[in-house]
Every structure is written in structure tokens, then in C-alpha cells.
A = this chain, B = another copy of it.
Amino acid sequence: MTDEPDKSKFDRSCCPIACALDQLGDKWTLLIIRDLLLGKKRYQEFLASPEQIATNILADRLKKLEADGFVVQQAYQQNPVRYEYKLTQKGEDLAPVLQALVTWGKSHYPGSRVFKAVKP
């Protein structure tokens, strides 16, 4: 019952790459962050992305992204409460990582191309 922070320091090692992959290392999380960086905010917008994420996985990832401090929820209506998701600074700071991935991906997967940002 001490007041130690619940995070158990480093999951696998103190390497910043390992720390990052503990939270981002799967097939979906970075795609959701991509969508958020492109301006998407709502559940249906994420579902509409061409990669066809399953609804249970999307719900699970949004929960984890919030728990890990990448996004915050903001209610945009009551009864029932509905939330929009927006990136925190931690999440937005991933933009250079995604940008590097795009640069790499475009040169190694000819024909691939990025999507347009959604209108606000």
C-alpha cells in the first residue's frame, strides 16, 4: 500500500525502443495514431479506415492509448455520453516517427501513398 507509481519501471529493458514497443509494438496502435494525426477523432472515423480494424480491437486500443497517456477523451454529447479522442503531447510527439516510417515505406513499397488529412 505504498504510494509508488503503479508503472513497473521498464517492462523489458531500459532501452527507449523497447519501452516504445511495449506500448506501440503491434499491428494497430500506430495506425490509430496515424488517423489521429490526420485529424480523425471518432470511433466511426477510425473504423472507416481502409485497414478494416475489428470493433473489439479498436475499443481495446483506444482504452490502452488513454491509459498510456497517448490520447484523452472529450465528451461531445450527453445521454448517452459520446467521446471524441485527441492526441496528448506524448501522442503528437510521435509525428516524426510516423514521418520516418512514411519516408521509408514509400521508398520500399512502390505504389504506397499516404492519405489526405480529414477536414476539421
Closest to A111 in B: B14
Tell which of A26-34, A39-47, A58-66, A71-79 binds the partner.
A26-34
In whole angstroms, how far apart are the Cα atoms of A111 and B20 in the complex? 13
| Min C-beta distance of A52 to chain B, whole Å | 7
Chain A residues within 8 Å of chain B by Cβ, number: 46
Copies in the complex: 2
Known contacts: A10-B109, A21-B31. The answer to whether A15 contacts B104 by CB under 8 A is: no
Query: Could you list 20 examples of A-B contacts with CB < 8 Å?
Result: A10-B111, A12-B52, A13-B51, A14-B113, A15-B51, A15-B112, A16-B101, A17-B31, A17-B98, A17-B102, A18-B31, A18-B51, A20-B104, A21-B30, A26-B26, A93-B107, A93-B108, A97-B104, A99-B100, A100-B100
| A interface list, Cβ under 8 A from B | 9-10, 12-22, 25-28, 30-31, 34, 49-52, 90, 93-94, 96-109, 111-115
